[in-house]
Amino acid sequence: MFRTVFFAALLAPGLALAAGGGTQAPKPSETTQTCTNGEIWDSGSKSCKAPQHSALDDDTLYGAVREFAYAGQFKNAQIALAEMSDQSDDRVLTYWGFTHRKMGDVDTGMAYYTRAIATNPANILARSYMGQALVEQGDIPAAKVQLAAIRQYDGTGTWAEQSLHTAIKSGKTYNY
């Protein structure tokens, strides 16, 4: 899930991993181009569905969460997250943390990142997002701890490692 990205992607954040789940930003789909009010495109019926619609599986919901997060639609991302079947899954916890943090509730975001990491210590995306939150708070030593852990879990060269490294060096975090 967490693949190495090219250095060029780091230089062009729009191409980098946006809220996890691949090496490139999600391509806008019907979910953000056609659907409204947080509805999600259902490719089976070729129509927009409310996230609560039973025809939407977790992979479809996960893709929508990622797309909503990248588009800055954090509340819609949370509505889709709430419908995912395993709320204790570390990728779900990571997204809960990301959306809460981006909506201004850093403490809740950090609590979700902590739970994601407790569930899966090798979750380098949660570590990167947590580290970026720590940079935003001015806690560089704690951010460096997360960077070291990312490297320990074979995250060297990944977007997670590169973005946190850049944030520590520059003091600037990514806006997605």
Lowest mean pLDDT among 23-27, 47-51, 55-59, 95-99: 23-27
The pLDDT value given to residue 37:
86
For residue 175, the model assigns a pLDDT of: 62
Which of 108, 40, 110 minimizes the C-alpha distance to 73?
40
Of 24-28, 80-84, 166-170, where does mean pLDDT reach its minimum? 24-28
Complete domains list, the chain, with CATH: 7-170 (1.25.40.10)
Residue 121 has pLDDT above 70, yes or no: yes
CA dihedral 2, 77, 169, 135 (to 10 degrees): -120
pLDDT bracket for residue 84 (50, 70, 90): very high
